[in-house]
Each structure stands twice: as structure tokens, then as C-alpha cells.
Structure 1
Amino acid sequence: MGSRNKRKTKMQKETLFRLLHYIKPYSPFFMGSMLCAVVSVVAQLYVPIQIGKAIDKMITKGNVDFSSIYDICKVIIIATIITAISQWIFGIFNNRITYSVTRDLRNDAIAKIEELPLSYLDGHSTGDLVSRMIADVDQLADGLLMGFTQFFTGILTIIGTFCCMLYVNVVISLVVLLVTPLSLLVASFIAKHSYKNFKLQTEVRGEQTAFINEHVEGKKVIQAFGKEEKSVREFDEINSRLQKVSLKALFFSSITNPATRFVNSIVYAGVGLVGALSAVAGGITIGQVSCFLNYANQYTKPFNEISGVVTELQNAFACAARVIAFLDEPSQTPDLINAMELKNSEVNGCIELKDISFGYTKEYKLMEHINLSVKSGEKVAIVGPTGCGKTTLINLLMRFYDVDSGRIEVSGVDIKELTRKSLRSSYGMVLQETWLKSGTIYENIAFGKPNATKEEVINAAKAAHAHSFIMRMEKGYDSEIVEDGENISLGQKQLLCIARIMLCLPPMLILDEATSSIDTRTEIMIQNAFTKMMNGRTSFIVAHRLSTIKEADVILVMKEGHIIEQGTHESLIANRGFYYNLYNSQFEGIG
């Protein structure tokens, strides 16, 4: 238990240190905020003294000093105006700091996503990442805002009020001081229990967000298999856990107000009793008793607020810890300091795989000792059963993953000695899984070549046989596509992705089931367009329908991470090996 508490304390300190790092650039606003807080507190504390003086000026029957009371009222009004102005500026500074910090955190988070290796994104749910960037950062903003607006002013009010009470009367001030530890014990108890529950709440909320995201995206599949009730039951289970931890967190945060009010009442009663006895004995004036009672309220009120703020800060720290843990994830291996820029004009299309081995985990090697030599302009088809390593080989060529051993060379240069950006820009890739961004059709086609003219985009769309369906849409190339192209068909999305590559025309191509969602007639036209595009370009074609790759210069047959056969379609058929059986299995049961 002790080691766990030490780890928690260490994590909280590290989180606070990182947050201060984000606040540091806005230190002028922080200093201005603190100055406004001091001015506001001093002006507020000055008012009870003046009220006490005013009461003493009118306490004697028939002897009210209206002239002095008038002067005192003017001072009170001026102090109140100063308080209001300083609090207004204080709020502006705090908002500026809080929302600048959250903006910077989100900027760093999105930049981190671009730096993370693909393995991290493959191993974590999208919903949880979204929850960290949106919900957790929002909770952090709420906690920071309360911390700046109430925590610091509360501390200053407590210190300032106690100093003023000591100035007026030492004995009554000691009564207040004796009760103060009770408030601190209450705040400590609440903070200790609330952090644990708020941390659990943020984790379960992230799990729930991931679940919702997953099931919204897979709605059609869930309905097709009639799994709606199962999905609802799973959601209910997560929601029930969220309810339980939220209720616990809410319970400990809700006892803040009654507990601190109880302490406040003890302080107020103690001040009133001692002050009244002192006034009867002639040791203090009635105005000073009134001043003390005002100070008692001002002294205890921040404890109430600070206890509530501590609860919010615990929640904020729990959220901040999740965000910072994400930011601290190791980035992908950076490009070498002297990494070369691979220019498309310098790419000859020759690719060498020399004794490469790779596994997604250290325990299991998916590929071992793969060797391959691809000549310039060759069309290389990659075939094999599901899970044999076809897509993995493409990931390695694009350097989405780095090989564990061996080397991959493009135009005689190890791809680790090239910048990732220049390497990937030399490939044109069309995947079975299409991706389109929110925006116009024109913007999606021109994604890889933003400076493309309208004519170039139209020509690329025509080559991909997408022009006709685009022109049938209400606004043609200016038609808006919603997130991931949900308002057009899967085949149309794939045609737009093909048009995107045909616009760029890079020196090497990767086609991973590029026509899987297209009708047979259109596929024939696309294959003709691909044939023209692949002419003189080194091309890798991943296909399940083996009839589409018979014209390939080289066919690689993969099984369990190894290239077991290699050759042309005719030579592999003549060998009557694994490819022969794979090819003929397509026609089993036909006729």
C-alpha cells in the first residue's frame, strides 16, 4: 500500500511539473493574474475594517457621525470598484492561460499521432485516443480554470484575512487558528479518496468512448448479424461500471460542501462567542466584533472553495496524467540526421530485399530470411493464403514498420538511410481499405498533389473512370464528401482513391486489392488504365483473384511468411506446386 501511494504521489508530481512546463510560456499572464488576485483580496479585506469603523461611528445613541460615515462609504465604494475591475482582468488572464494550455496540449497530441509508429495505433482503440484528446483535455481545462480562479485567491484570502485578524485582536485570531487544522484534515481526506475514483472514471469513460466509436462504425455489420441486443448488453456493462465509479467520485466530491460548512459554523460560533465576551469586558468594540465576524466568513469560505477545487484538481490531474502518458509514448524511430531525400526523378525502380526478418511482436516472427530482387519496371504480383504476409511485405516496403534484421534497398540505397516522406512519395498506393477525408471530391483527388489544376484532376478522374459518376452528382467536383465518404458507394470511393494515384503518377506503384469493390465491367476498364499506368513503373500487385495477375512479370507465392515459389504464371503452373493448387482452387465447384 505504501509503495502504491508513493507511485501515485510521484505520478502527481510529474504531472504537475509537466503542466507547469505548458504554463511557462504564459508566465506574463500568470504574473498579471496573481497581481490582480492580490489587489482583489486586499480590496475585499479592506472593506470589513471600514464597515467596523462605520458601526463604531453610529453605536452611541444620538451621536452618529454622518460626515465620517459618508467618507467611509466612499472608501467602501472605491474598494468595491477596484475589486470588480481586478476580478474582471483576473478572469481574462486565467481564461487566456487555461485555453492556451489546452490548445497546446491538443496540438502536441495531434502532432504525436503523426509521430507514433503504426504499431501503437494498431494496438490502441481510436475511441480511447479521441477520449484523451477531447474529453480528458476538457476536464483538465475545467480543473485549471477552477484552480486559477479559486485556489490561488482562496490561499491569498486565508493568509490575508488571518493577518488582518491578528492586527485587530490576537486572542480571537488564535481561536480561528486552532480550528484551522480541522479544515485541512477534511480537504486531505476528500482529496485522497477522490483522485482514485476520478482516475477510474476517466479510464472507464475512455473505454466507453472506444466502444461507441467501434459500434457506430460497425453498425451495418452488427445489424446484419443481429447482434444489437448483445451490443446493448455490453454497453450496459460498461455504462454500469462508469455509473459506479462516477457515483463514488461524486460522493466524495459532494461531501466537500457540508463538511466545510460544518467547520465554517464552528469557526463563526467560536469568533462570535469570544468576541461577544471580549466586547462585554471592554477589550474590543462592537464594530471590531462585526469586523471579526466578516473576517470569519471570509476566512472559512476559501476552505469550502478550496476543498471543492481540490476535488476538481484531482479529476484534472487524473485526466492530465492520461494525456501526458500518451504524449510520452515513444515515437517512431526518427529519420537519420543525414537522411537522403529520394527524388522521383532519381528512382530507377530497382528494389532489393536482403535477408529480411520481421515480426509484429518479439515472440513471433512473421517473416524470416526473405530475399527478393525486383528489376526496374517489373510488375510483381504477391499471392498466398490469408495471413501469409502479403500486406506485411507492403508495410515494410513503405516503411510503416522497420525490419528486425536485413535491409531493403530502393535504387541501391537502404530505405533506413532515406527520409520516410521522400520514400513514401515515390510510391503510389491503392488499398482495399479506402480512405477519404471530409471535403470536396476535387480536394480528395488532389490530396497527394494540392497544386494540381482542375484539368489535371478531371483527366485523372477520367482515367480512373470516375468522371461520369462525379458529374451526375449535384455539384460535380465541388460535391461534398462526408467523413470517410459515407454518402457515396464503396466502389465509388475506390474509384476516387484510384484517381488520386493516377493524378500523382509516382515512379513505383502498390495495388493491394485495388479493384475489389468495383463491378466487373468497370474493373476491366480500370485494369486497362492500370496497365498503361504501370508501363515502365515498378509495380507490386496484391491479389486474391489470381486471374487478374496472369500478365505479371514475376509472381511471388507466399506462405507462412516465406516466399515458397517465384516465377511467371506459366512457369508456376507448369511446376504444379502450391501456386498450381491455389490457382485451380478458384474454379472448384464451377460447372
Structure 2
Amino acid sequence: MSVNTSRIDEEQKEVLKKDTLIRLFKYLLVYKKQISAVLLIMAGTIAISMATPIMIEYAINVCVASGDVKGLLELGALAVVMFLFFLAGTKIRMYIMSDVSNQVLLNIRDELYRHIQTLSFGFFDSRPTGKILARIIGDVNSLKDVLSDSVTQLIPDLITVVCVAVIMLIKNYRLAMAALLTLPILVVGMLVIETTAHKRWQIYRKKTSNLNAYVHEDLSGIRVIQSFAAERETRAVFYDLVKQHYQAFIDAVVVADGFGPVVEITWGLGGFLLYFIGIRIIGVGEVGIGTFLAFSTYIAMFWSPIRNLANFYNKLTTNISAAERIFDIIDTEAGIRDCEGAEELPDIEGTVDFEHVSFAYDDEPERMILKDVNFHIRQGETIALVGPTGAGKTTIVNLLSRFYEATDGRVLIDGYDIKKVTLKSLRSQMGIMTQDNSLFSGTIKYNIKYGRLDATDEEMIEAAKAVNAHDFIMKLEHGYDTEISERGARLSIGQRQLLAFARTMLSKPGILILDEATSSIDTHTELLVQKGIEALLKGRTSFVIAHRLSTIRKADRIFVIDQGNIMEAGSHEELMEKRGAYYQLYQSQFL
């Protein structure tokens, strides 16, 4: 299986930026009413902006020229009122768009998270958790300004540029053409900068992801780092990743910052050409002072939004790589999902059949983990799976839970092909215990009820008592209401395992899977929990994987797995009498 690490840049398929932008802006269409209100407000504020230079021109050419003081004061009062409306409209539209953009981010993050939860183990096995977190948190957050500014800045600035250009052309097309002669220079410059900057921002995002993944990995393994006094080595790796991250940012910013100078240069040239052509070629006599002042205002009104649009374009170039990374995961197909017409699996009785089941990872089809495995399990049987590491024991139970899909053959529960039933109805009836069960930050009560949130406190306590967890819980400061940190850091390994047993007991699974579930428990604790395990096993089909053979002697049948198949099968006594592979394993362990 191809695995990405915190020091390797992620691979990402190339997509058209246009497609990414269209897809991103479609999220805004859900809020048509709010955006329509914003556009209506913007129409009013733009109209006020467009009217201002005309009022200046009228004030100078008419009121001042004729000495009409009253008309000048009335015009000034009107300008003040219009300005107040302009300020109010701007504030309201910014507030509405801020709320809309936050809602869109919430929707994108929710969609991304829900999709990630549907992806198979192969997706998580192939990349560090930190890189997934980087997309859910950092990449989604970086889209906020793009979404908000696309309505509050892009649309009004585009409209302003078009309106100003039209007004200038109507008033004096020769002055207008003089002011707009430098636009081709701006367009070429922006395209060159954007092409280079986008690639560099993609690299920066990947370096950010690498750094995030390493920090997550480092902090998760802090006990190992400190126990081996490896702080200096890990710090050296961290410094190298930070340096790469820093350099990638500098490389991107150096190019992206070219947008500003290109706009300023073309703006300055445009202003120079306006006055040069207006004065030297057209002549001052043909253009009134008021018209010149109006054009001076209009050219500022034209280039100011052009600068804003360039900044928005720069922001878009900076953050579109984040949208590409988000959609890259959303477009990752779930390897295992409900087939069309999948039905609900009824309450499990417990018969299990493997019919000619073979399995290999998708990227290693030539290396078969399981080869033509066949067996039938009767309702209520306890089956122990033993064998060397890597023989395929865990693969069998992962196929049964449909965490992976069989390459060939069928897996049936109560005669139902598990590929044809819904994943929820299948997995909700499976109880899976491993040697490293996750606990979540919250109360002990929350963690035990996690698999069945509607359970009563009495049922929870009964489950805890059944696996001998109740006594140690009651010795804690707040009993079942005691808060524990992520992964239950302040609890012993044995205590964490007992809580996981209680959680599984409370969920009342139809089929139980214990994968090295007692390997982390000391002998004394294991003796305490054995009765709880027997209670868990009673009346339900169970699969037990264990290297400690003393724990599986009471199993109804023992399967010896090796080389991808079942080498031997039978009870403990039957296999000992055969003196085969199981006998050798047993003797070597106890000798």
C-alpha cells in the first residue's frame, strides 16, 4: 500500500481552476435571499458613488460659475445624506455576507467531515492524520475571505469599473480612451503573476500539511520521544519542516506581491496619459475645468476597484489551492459503501459463512493476504483465531465487519451477503474490541454509553459491573461523572480496557470480535475481567484473536491461520491430540 508521510508532499490531481471556482461559488446559491438583499443594497451604494463626480461637476460648472450659494448648500446637504446612506448600506451588506460566508464554511466543513467518515481504512492507512486535519481546519478556514469578498467586493467593483468606463466614454470618449490605454499591460502582467503564484501556493499548502502532520504525530507520541530522550532529533526534523514551510511561503508571496506594483504602475501611466492627451492633444479649451475634475475623480473610481479586483484575484490565487485540496478529498470515492438497493440486516442470530474468500490490498493485487478461505460458524459459537503475525487473522474479522472488501468470494451473516446490506445495520450489530481501544474526552459515563446513547444509567452500571469495571470507577473522584482526557491518559492501560469492555457490553452486539483485547491487561486484571468476557461471549457468536493461548482454551473451535489459509481447525483438546501446528505453538509458548 502506498503510504504518504509527514515528510513527503501529497500527490494531487490537476483540475481546471475555472471548475474549482464554479463549484465553490455554487455553495453561495443556497443563500439566494441574503445575496439578493446584498446586491440590492450594493446597487444603491454604487449609484451613490456614480453620482458623486456628476454632483462635483455640476457644483463647479453651474453653482460656482453662477454664484448660486443656495444651490451649492442644497447640493452639499444632499451629498451628506447620500453619504450616510452609503455608510449604512456598506455596513449592512458586510454583516450579511459575513454571516453567509460563515454558514457556507460550516456547510463545506460538514460535507467534508461526513464524507471522510465514509472512507475506508485504506484512506486513513495511507496518510497521516495531521494531513487530514489540515484540510478540515486550515484549508476550509482559508476560503472565508474569498467567499465573502466574491459578493461584497468582486461584484460591486466589476459593476463600478463598467459603469465608470461607460460614463467616461459618454462624457468624452477621447479622454476615456487615454485613461484606459494601459489596461492591456495590466491584464498581461496579472496573468503572468497568477500562473506562477498559483503553483507556488499549491506547494505552500503541501508544506503546511506536512508540518501539521508532523506536529500531530510528534505530540501523539510524546511519551515515546521523552522515554528515548529523542527531543533533539525530533526538534531537528521539526526545524527542517518549518524551514521548508517558511521558504515555500516566501517564494509564493514574492510573486503574489507583484500584483500591487503592476496595478500602481498602470494606474500612474493611465493618469499621466489622461492629462497629457487632454491638455496637449485635445486642448484645455475644449474640456471644462469641472469636466477635468470629474474625470480625475472617475479615473480614481476606475482604478481603485481595479486595485481591489487585483487584490481579490491575488487572494483567489492564494486560496484556490485550498479549495482544490478540499474537493480532492470530497471527490475521493468511498471504497466501501452501500450498494444500490441495499437492505437492512435484521437482528443478527449469529451464523457466519466465508465462501471461497480471498483478499489482497488494491495496490498489491499480486500479494494475497487470504487465499480461498472457507468456513461455517454456527450460532453462538466462540471461534479463536491463532497463528503468526501477518497470517491474516485480523483481516478475517475486518472482512466480517466490512472494513475491507473481499477480493473474491462471499461473506454471509445469517445467509445475508454483507455486500448487499447497509453498513449501518451491519456494523451497529458488531461489537469490536482491540488492544488499543479509543476513549474520548468527556465523562466515563459518556464513554461507556458511546455505542448506545439511549441506554439508561442502570444499564450502564450493570454493564460496568459485568466486566468488573464498576469498583475502580466508583473509587474515582466523581465516579461515572469523572472527566477523562483524550485516550484516557490518566487511566491505566487495564482501566482503559475495562471501560472499553463495558462499552461493548452495553451495546449488546450480535457478533463479538475480540482482537488481542486482553493483551494490554496484567494477569491480575485479566482474571477479574475473564468473567466479564464470558458474560460477553455467552449466547452470541464470537471471534477471539489472541497470542496468549491460555485465554482461548475454552473456545468451541480454534482456527490456526497461516500463509493466508486455515491450516488446522478444532477444539483445544482435538488440536493437541493432532500434535500439529497448534500443538507446536502451544508447547513453544509454555516451554
Same fold (TM over 0.5): yes
Q: Which residue of 2 aligns with 1:514?
A: 517
Determine the C-alpha separation between the residues in 2 that align with 1:552 and 1:10.
55
Match of 2:49 among 35, 44, 51: 44
Determine the C-alpha separation between the residues in 2 that align with 1:281 and 1:377.
102
Q: Which residue of 2 aligns with 1:458?
A: 461
- Residue aligned with 1:540, SS: strand
Bigger Cα displacement from structure 2, 191-200 vs 272-281:
272-281
The question of whether the paired residues in 2 share the 8 Å contact of 1:140 and 1:315 is answered with no
Q: Is the aligned partner of 1:357 residue 2:362?
A: no
The question of whether the paired residues in 2 share the 8 Å contact of 1:279 and 1:285 is answered with no
- Residue aligned with 2:285, SS: coil
- Residue aligned with 2:427, SS: helix
Question: Counterparts in 2 of 1:233-248, with a 5 A limit?
Answer: 233-248=236-251
Match of 2:167 among 158, 164, 168: 164
Residue identity in the other structure for 1:54: A
Residue identity in the other structure for 2:95: I
Q: Any gaps of 5 or more consecutive residues in structure 1?
A: 1-6
- Residue aligned with 1:465, SS: coil
Determine the C-alpha separation between the residues in 2 that align with 1:138 and 1:269.
41
Q: Is the aligned partner of 1:11 residue 2:16?
A: yes
> Cα distance, 1:438 vs. partner?
2.3
Question: Counterparts in 2 of 1:152-301, with a 5 A limit?
Answer: 152-276=155-279, 281-301=284-304
Determine the C-alpha separation between the residues in 2 that align with 1:213 and 1:41.
48
Q: Which residue of 2 aligns with 1:3?
A: none
Change (3 A) 1:169 1:278: farther
Determine the C-alpha separation between the residues in 1 that align with 2:282 and 2:60.
14
The question of whether the paired residues in 2 share the 8 Å contact of 1:507 and 1:537 is answered with yes
The question of whether the paired residues in 2 share the 8 Å contact of 1:436 and 1:484 is answered with yes
Q: Is the aligned partner of 1:381 residue 2:384?
A: yes
Bigger Cα displacement from structure 2, 19-28 vs 357-366:
19-28
> Cα distance, 1:209 vs. partner?
1.1
Determine the C-alpha separation between the residues in 1 that align with 2:582 and 2:434.
23
Match of 1:564 among 564, 567, 588: 567
> Cα distance, 1:187 vs. partner?
2.0
Residue identity in the other structure for 2:51: Y
Determine the C-alpha separation between the residues in 2 that align with 1:9 and 1:556.
48
Determine the C-alpha separation between the residues in 1 that align with 2:188 and 2:96.
32
Residue identity in the other structure for 2:36: M
Determine the C-alpha separation between the residues in 2 that align with 1:579 and 1:331.
39
TM-score (norm 2): 0.93
Determine the C-alpha separation between the residues in 1 that align with 2:587 and 2:295.
97
The question of whether the paired residues in 2 share the 8 Å contact of 1:183 and 1:303 is answered with no
Match of 1:56 among 45, 53, 61: 61
The question of whether the paired residues in 2 share the 8 Å contact of 1:351 and 1:411 is answered with yes
Change (3 A) 1:40 1:464: same
Q: Which residue of 2 aligns with 1:150?
A: 153
Bigger Cα displacement from structure 2, 203-212 vs 89-98:
89-98
Q: Is the aligned partner of 1:330 residue 2:333?
A: yes
- Residue aligned with 2:448, SS: helix
- Residue aligned with 2:518, SS: coil
Determine the C-alpha separation between the residues in 2 that align with 1:201 and 1:270.
40
Residue identity in the other structure for 2:504: I
Q: Is the aligned partner of 1:541 residue 2:548?
A: no
Q: Is the aligned partner of 1:430 residue 2:433?
A: yes
Q: Which residue of 2 aligns with 1:22?
A: 27
Match of 1:489 among 489, 492, 501: 492
> Cα distance, 1:196 vs. partner?
1.0
The question of whether the paired residues in 2 share the 8 Å contact of 1:47 and 1:79 is answered with no
Q: Is the aligned partner of 1:77 residue 2:60?
A: no
Change (3 A) 1:185 1:209: same
Residues 261-302 of structure 1: per-residue CA shift (max 9 Å, x gap): 122222222223444558964212222211111111111112
The question of whether the paired residues in 2 share the 8 Å contact of 1:182 and 1:263 is answered with yes
**What is the RMSD computed on CA atoms of the aligned residues?**
2.1
The question of whether the paired residues in 1 share the 8 Å contact of 2:357 and 2:373 is answered with yes
> Cα distance, 1:351 vs. partner?
1.3
Residue identity in the other structure for 2:19: E
Determine the C-alpha separation between the residues in 1 that align with 2:13 and 2:507.
52
Residue identity in the other structure for 1:27: K
Determine the C-alpha separation between the residues in 2 that align with 1:340 and 1:190.
54
Q: Any gaps of 5 or more consecutive residues in structure 2?
A: 1-11
Question: Counterparts in 2 of 1:379-418, with a 5 A limit?
Answer: 379-418=382-421
Bigger Cα displacement from structure 2, 328-337 vs 64-73:
328-337
Change (3 A) 1:491 1:479: same
Percent of pairs identical after alignment?
33
